[in-house]
Structure 1
Amino acid sequence: MSRIGKLPVQIPGGVKIALQGINIKVEGPKGKLQRDLPEKVNIAVESDTVVVTPLSPDAKDRSVQGLTRTLVANMVEGVTNGFEKILEISGVGYRADLKGDVLNLALGYSHPIEYKLPQGISAEVEKQTKIIVRGIDKELVGATAAKIRSFREPEPYKGKGIKYAGERIIRKAGKTGK
């Protein structure tokens, strides 16, 4: 059995959970989230907890239990606290600027990159070299941060590019002359 899947999800005050078949709706102080969950599990919403159990002892049903419990826990966490990813830009002349919901990036290309943030995602730029991506959907926050990072991934020789805060770039030695 899944160790994570067995744990109940605590529902904090101010969060409402509605369940219709495989569709779950979570509403909290930061917003609303909705998702279709796998059909191989049974979800029980009690007074202040959500319990996920597999429908049968079959390995395929049990394998989905931990995933479903984590999805529900992330939805509850998102509507109460939200999620954020921090990106750092390093390189001479590399910078970011935010105008409305459009992120303008100067990353050494012949043209600036304009990236429109998806709905439900907000960003903040500090000192033109630090981007903070925030939202209530953990999956969307991670995907948006990964998309922004993909515009100029850090290169291994000088470490220039966009990296996650705390990410360690493995450096390579350059050419050596004779």
Structure 2
Amino acid sequence: MSRIGKKPVPVPSGVTASIDGQTVTIKGPKGEKSFVLNDLVLAEMTDDGIKIDPCNSSKPARSMWGMSRTMVANLITGVTEGFKKDLAITGVGYRAQVQGKNLQLALGFSHDVVYPIPDGIDIVCPKPTEINITGTDKQRVGQVAAEIREFRPPEPYKGKGVRYAGEFIVRKEGKKK
């Protein structure tokens, strides 16, 4: 049984939630998001919030139960607080800056890498070696962070590259003489 799925998703003040069949729509201060639930789960509004229940006790229905509850909870978090990922750039001459709708990265290549910023995502560079990615969709924020990190992942000898803030890079020992 899902322990996460048993808890109702609380709806904070200032947020309106509506359920239309299998579609859950959440409106909040940062925008409006919706999610279509799987047919194996049912959603209903209660006094405690939004309650998700499996429609039967089959294995696939129970598998979708906790995931569906988490997706609805992420919608509410997204329209109230938003999601944030921080990236750190390490390396001599490696830097980032936002120019209009593009993120320009100097990562040791013969050319700068230009990454177009997708809609619904905000990217800020408070320092040339820091990138802050914010948005209302947890999946898109994580995907954008992963795409930027993929341009130059951290290497194990000197640790140069783009890494998540707080990520630990396992270092290797260099050549012996």
Using the size of structure 1 for normalisation, the TM-score is 0.97
User: Once superposed, which parts of structure 1, at least 4 consecutive aligned residues long, lie more than 6 Å away?
Assistant: none
Cα distance in 2 between the residues matched to 1:75 and 1:100: 28
Cα distance in 2 between the residues matched to 1:149 and 1:4: 31
Matches within 5 A, 1:1-178: 1-177=1-177
Cα distance in 2 between the residues matched to 1:37 and 1:109: 44
SS at match of 1:39: coil
Displacement after TM superposition at 1:48 (Å): 4.8
Cα distance in 1 between the residues matched to 2:116 and 2:21: 35
Displacement after TM superposition at 1:101 (Å): 2.1
Cα distance in 2 between the residues matched to 1:168 and 1:13: 38
CA contact (8 A) 1:14 1:28 kept: yes
SS at match of 1:43: strand
Which residue type is aligned with residue 123 of structure 1? I
Cα distance in 1 between the residues matched to 2:53 and 2:41: 6
SS at match of 2:53: strand
Displacement after TM superposition at 1:148 (Å): 0.6
SS at match of 1:25: strand
SS at match of 2:169: coil
Percentage of matched positions with identical amino acids: 48
Superposed CA RMSD? 0.9
Which residue type is aligned with residue 136 of structure 2? I
Displacement after TM superposition at 1:35 (Å): 2.0
Cα distance in 1 between the residues matched to 2:101 and 2:23: 30
CA contact (8 A) 1:12 1:48 kept: no
Cα distance in 2 between the residues matched to 1:55 and 1:23: 15
Worse-matched range after superposition: 59-68 or 19-28: 19-28
Q: Deviations over 1:99-154 (max 9, x none)?
A: 12210000001110110111100011022000000001011100011111001000
What are the ranges of 5 or more consecutive residues in structure 2 without an aligned counterpart? none
Which residue type is aligned with residue 19 of structure 1? I
CA contact (8 A) 1:88 1:164 kept: yes
What are the ranges of 5 or more consecutive residues in structure 1 without an aligned counterpart? none
SS at match of 2:125: strand
Using the size of structure 2 for normalisation, the TM-score is 0.97
Q: Deviations over 1:26-81 (max 9, x none)?
A: 11001111222211001012245000000001111111100000000000011000
